Structure 1
Amino acid sequence: MQPEPSSSIVPVTTVLFDLDDTLFDHANTARAALATSTAGLPEFAGADMEALYQQYSEILEEMHPQVLAGKCTYEDARRLRFQRLLAPYGLARTHAAATEFAQQHYGHYQRLRQPIAGAVALLEALRPHYKVGIVTNNRTAEQQEKLRHLGMAHLVDALVTSEEVGVTKPNPRIFEVALQRLRSRAAETVMVGDNWQADVVGALDVGIRPVWLNRFAGLRPLAHVEEITSLEPLAEVLLQITGAQPPVSQKL
């Protein structure tokens, strides 16, 4: 069990965010890309697309750590993912077929990327008064390009990636690097993220107050951890993240 938070109130100066499925809507982007990639294929006539997405997510969750650890390239992981996903439908059985489908799907995914509803407005409201950072388990170049595509790059003071630091959340080191780069203290920092283990437990372990973005009605293991289910409405989310303290004008 994690310790209960201290009752002393420290004004917030810094807000950290996860990126994928916290600011960037990976889940719905992936659903839309799968629907586009399989549209018109007779093998998917009458297929349960939500079940297909769940299978896609499970395979992605299994393989992503291997990619981050350098055991598999992104291109090979993408091909293998679709070979496994599409085999029951009689598709992508060969290396070439799986590679072609994966490339087409990735193109759809890139084109269909969208932010979580309310994400841009939230960053725009925070940044004049708070230092804003992103802590993400992914490649630096990919996340930089993603922020540009989503129109968020100019709203972020620091991007800290697992590729750069050499460890993944919830390892304390990645949070410590973010605090160092933003010249912030853990006690005055909030971490907003959707992944309980990586974002919530990781933040608690270094003394950062977490706010769990629980978009899909998961069970909250620790009652004292604050929870939001959306990034809207803006005023309510801002209050929950920053508390009742007045805006802090300190910037880097």
Structure 2
Amino acid sequence: MPLAASAITTILFDLDDTLFDHAGTARAALAAIAAGRAALHGVPVEDLYGRYSALLEELHPQVMTGRISYLAAREQRFQRLLAPYEPAASAAEAAQLAAQHYGHYQQLRRPVAGALALLQALKPTHKIGIVTNNRTAEQQEKLRYLGMSELVDALITSEEVGVLKPDPRIYQVALARLGSQPAETVMVGDNWLADVLGALAVGIRPVWLNRTGAARPLPHVTELTSLEPLAEVLHQLTTRPTAPAESLS
């Protein structure tokens, strides 16, 4: 589909693993709790993170649709995380471990490299929105902690809208909130289904942040492997491509 000629006025971002380094923070928090629990000594952090991520992907949509509470999902996640290494662990022990992990996670949070500088550079000239599959209060607090709140014009969450990306409705709410049209908007995110295909479905140009080296399913989609260097990333986001998209390493 040919691109419209209108200027880019609006940049939408995913938050977790796009502006906020969830994966790095979660790994560091898991390493911290493993160091303090004998049953987890010697277990590779990548093994723990793989199980943690799979459980999060399974349970998070249930939290967002109200089928299970956030705290219940967190405790269930850690009970199942412990099971292969400590089968006799009680629900109370899993809850305690979940609370310990959450404490470490809060203290170890960090932005994706280059994210803050990118928002600061875009703010004077572009409208900035966050479109995220998460809870509103959690993402508001996260943006404050990362020093990004004043740089964001609108935060749109799946909890607020009632649907998860890639459902078009969450993108439509974002566009309406910012007073923007799809042709003048770019969506930056790390999740191919939620961020790339979701944006394409409503006519927004996606930019895929691929920090893990995964294969790009659609070669015409612009790909970033980092949010640095700033000048090159700004060019990719704010300038319409005139040729098939290339990866920016």
Q: Deviations over 1:158-192 (max 9, x none)?
A: 00111111111111111111111111110000000
Q: Alpha-carbon deviation of 1:9?
A: 2.7
1:125 to 121, 124, 127: 121
Instruction: Give the drift of 1:221.
Output: 1.1
Pairing of 1:95-106 with structure 2 (within 5 A): 95-106=91-102
Residue from 136, 140, 164 that aligns with 1:168: 164
1:71 pairs with one of 58, 67, 79 = 67
**Equivalent position of 1:229 in the other structure:** 225
Partner of 2:176: 180
Output the TM-score relative to the length of structure 1. Answer: 0.93
Q: Distance in 1 between matches of 2:115 and 2:30?
A: 23
User: Whole-Å Cα distance in 2 between the matches of residues 7 and 193 of structure 1?
Assistant: 20
- Quote the Cα distance in structure 2 between the aligned partners of 1:46 and 1:142: 32
Aligned residues: 241
Query: Could you tell me how far apart the structure 2 residues matched to 1:94 and 1:112 are?
Result: 27
* Pairing 1:116–2:131 present: no
Q: Which amino acid aligns with 1:89?
A: Y
1:138 counterpart residue number: 134
Please tell me the residue identity of whatever aligns with 1:181: R
The CA deviation at 1:244 is 6.6
Q: Give yes or no for contact 1:92–1:101 (8 Å, CA) kept in 2.
A: no
For 2:26, which of 25, 30, 41 is the aligned residue?
30
Which runs of 5 or more structure 2 residues have no equivalent in the other structure? 242-249
Query: 1:7 Cα deviation (Å)?
Result: 4.2
Secondary structure at the aligned position of 1:88 is classed as coil
- Cα distance between partner residues in 2 of 1:148 and 1:236: 27
TM-score w.r.t. structure 2 length? 0.94
Equivalent residues of 2:3, 2:183 under 8 A apart = no
Aligned equivalents of 2:198, 2:4: Cα separation in 1? 21
Structure 1 residue 46 displacement after superposition: 2.0
Identity %: 66
- Match status 1:147 vs 2:143: yes
**Residues 25, 110 of structure 2: 8 Å contact kept:** yes
